[in-house]
Structure 1
């Protein structure tokens, strides 16, 4: 990773102010005009700022940007950017369009107020011209505000907004540089970035999905999500009030067993939910970062291939920093506000009950189990068959120490852990690594082990071949 020279917000704002080609407007809602303030205080703002806007009143906001169901939303941000950019260019393009690189910065934020706690977050973005007369490029970002005081949240928003504008003009040479610059003078204890989308000529060399991966890789977020079409989405909006069935794995490639586990896990989960919640289930294929770097480093092409293969079967994907089941379970429960279940294999269950995994916790494995099962998380165990054996292994085959066995019995007796009964034994010994081995050996029978659309994706992109 190359050295990164970090400028202060004032230095960044001043650099922009002194560039006679950069000229634009600001529209900020929900946390003051903290971004524009930096440019005014840096000096020379008259050469940069055409106007600033802050429509707090809902009627005024609707009159300017159109009606919306939610004022702190991606939809509202995009309407702000579109309206402000259009106004700016219509009024100023004739006079200074040949020499100016126009921009419109906007944010819509829920910050801490006088009335108790809440979910402090916001959408922030920019439309800008990299070169005069060029079609505008766009960045849309969702952030979570973690400071516990309004003043600190405002400061963080101001710094982040300056970083965003500056990064678009001075740090878009690479994805790594662009993402790191967004968090200059900030930490992940103040702000998390959990969704980023870019479009336009300034980002022809970038991919939303790889930018999102950079966020996780740099610990700027815990989770990123792709919907069933492979598009970057803001996960808390997608998962809110959904009952979740998650399958953890490498999905290199996704197999018939993977799909069977999610399907059968969801069916059994549905039978354990209240009748009015039975259809409100989302399945997730989750890949932890340690799975992406298990071969030494992150391979961008390999990562994109996994996303493409999973979305070819319309499967939403979650990428997370969580190594252990209990931390992922706790996170998902907080986000979805409903029930969480895992489809797992026997060796996963063995790993969950391995005390060594929790030796760094103050409360040891009891703390981990309390975190995991305290919100009624369930585990549905799919039978497992060893490579060269016919016998199917279920949850009762897990090897446990004497003092842990009663815990397993408790969780099974209270239906926290259940064996999947309606299963297909013909797919029980399909492993992704065996599929890859067959592909490398030129054995075409691998196609019988994966969904048809995955097989097509593998062949089309010539994946997993050693030569």
Structure 2
């Protein structure tokens, strides 16, 4: 018997939190548990306040005490409770329990779910803003394998009570969207912010799994978070799964390389390898304590106009993942914003690998007019911490001259600043390079691939060339 969890005329234009909870409560098939530990105990309250909560709520609980939580969901070896593994353990335990206790013979059409969150809100001293993991494990057909939507949120309001209210709203939005918008994950994402804004609560990681989402690429969901203004930056691992930036960057030395990577060329890899060697040697840091991030901005991803070609984005992502790299997508056009973002997670060394054209742009004061302190304010952020720039040379197309810090020309208004940072070894030339590699141009390579020409293969890493041919990437097909 088909179970109606799709839209209907009666509720199409009703979006209030109260009516979302009511619609769930009135659906005789949706039935599950709520487990909210830590500070996030507000979601189920919305369902209790709506009529007919017995139609939805099998059980609600809050194992606030850590010993009780361990006794129910298992001990946490690291004694950390606001984590993704804890959230998954909660949801798996609760759905297992409901399957065990509710008879399928008696309730053949039930769609079971377990909603859970584990959250720490802002502390009394306002030192820690608060964050948490929120998720739902749910069925869209009886006896179906479970689907999961798991996300991490940053809490930006200044009072714990306000953060709890926002968590409750987002929890209702998540449950409602899981059942009534699961067929369109992009729309689902947008509805998570009904009656909310990213100024209050920020989603910086989300992953969809299960049979309903078998065709969903979580990297595209990451991209949507940034495009929709739900967060400033997202990351995904070589596996393709979205990862929490804080987990990747926490107390790490960070080296980042920005580019369009359309496609990844031998120059990109040379920049990465040479700057990493210099970074580790100069700062005497271990590779295990260093994270290398390949960054693409929304601007990098826009091939033409304001639109982003998702297939083109996935081509680039596939290439970087195949090479084993962690990728960050951001809306940070200026580099000082990248440094400021990284500084949330680490006080260790930060390195920026870039080419000559990019460095010239950094010292152009026209890019900082929105700041009251102009370029000085931006550089106060960019160079205030342990930040070095590793400069890969370029070849002047007209003269053939190799451009480096020794002979490049920056904006006259900022030449003094440039000389100061260069003389203080904050801008360092990469000298170990192959001159012939400077003739490689990714835009020309892309055009050659698009037009079906040969001769580009040797300008790319072997793995990249093989993948482009196997998957017919960057073609007109």
Could you say which TM-score interval applies, normalised by the shorter chain?
Answer: over 0.9
Task: Indicate if the aligned counterparts of 1:271 and 1:278 stay in contact, CA closer than 8 A.
Answer: no
User: Which of 153-162 and 378-387 deviates more?
Assistant: 378-387
- CA-based RMSD: 1.7
2:63 matched residue in structure 1: 55
Q: What's the TM-score, normalizing by structure 2? A: 0.94
Task: Indicate if the aligned counterparts of 1:309 and 1:454 stay in contact, CA closer than 8 A.
Answer: yes
Q: What's the TM-score, normalizing by structure 1? A: 0.95
Q: Distance in 2 between matches of 1:238 and 1:117?
A: 22
- Does residue 448 of structure 1 match 2:458? yes
Equivalent residue in structure 2 for 1:248, among 242, 251, 258: 258
> Residues 49 and 95 of structure 1: is their aligned pair in 2 closer, same or farther, counting only changes over 3 Å?
farther
Q: CA offset at residue 113 of structure 1?
A: 3.4
1:233 matched residue in structure 2: 243
> Residues 359 and 396 of structure 1: is their aligned pair in 2 closer, same or farther, counting only changes over 3 Å?
farther
Q: CA offset at residue 106 of structure 1?
A: 0.3
Q: How is 1:148-187 mapped onto 2 (pairs within 5 angstroms)? A: 148-187=158-197
- Does residue 306 of structure 1 match 2:316? yes
Equivalent residue in structure 1 for 2:404, among 373, 381, 394: 394
Task: Indicate if the aligned counterparts of 1:285 and 1:318 stay in contact, CA closer than 8 A.
Answer: yes
Where do 4+ consecutive residues of structure 1 move more than 4 Å? Answer: 276-279
User: Which of 325-334 and 20-29 deviates more?
Assistant: 325-334
> Residues 6 and 401 of structure 1: is their aligned pair in 2 closer, same or farther, counting only changes over 3 Å?
farther
Q: How is 1:113-262 mapped onto 2 (pairs within 5 angstroms)? A: 113-262=123-272
Q: Distance in 1 between matches of 2:127 and 2:288?
A: 31
Q: CA offset at residue 5 of structure 1?
A: 5.1
Q: Deviations over 1:59-85 (max 9, x none)?
A: 111111111222110010000010011
Task: Indicate if the aligned counterparts of 2:312 and 2:474 stay in contact, CA closer than 8 A.
Answer: no
Q: CA offset at residue 398 of structure 1?
A: 3.0
SS of 2:144's equivalent?
coil
Task: Indicate if the aligned counterparts of 2:34 and 2:59 stay in contact, CA closer than 8 A.
Answer: yes
Q: Deviations over 1:216-244 (max 9, x none)?
A: 11000111101133221111111111111
Q: CA offset at residue 277 of structure 1?
A: 5.0
Q: Distance in 1 between matches of 2:173 and 2:327?
A: 29
Q: CA offset at residue 279 of structure 1?
A: 4.8
- Does residue 382 of structure 1 match 2:398? no
Q: CA offset at residue 116 of structure 1?
A: 4.2
Q: Aligned residue pairs: how many?
A: 463
2:291 matched residue in structure 1: 282
Q: Distance in 2 between matches of 1:93 and 1:394?
A: 73
SS of 2:440's equivalent?
coil
Equivalent residue in structure 1 for 2:362, among 352, 355, 366: 352
What stretches of structure 1 of length at least 5 have no aligned partner?
A: none
User: Which of 67-76 and 430-439 deviates more?
Assistant: 430-439
SS of 2:406's equivalent?
helix
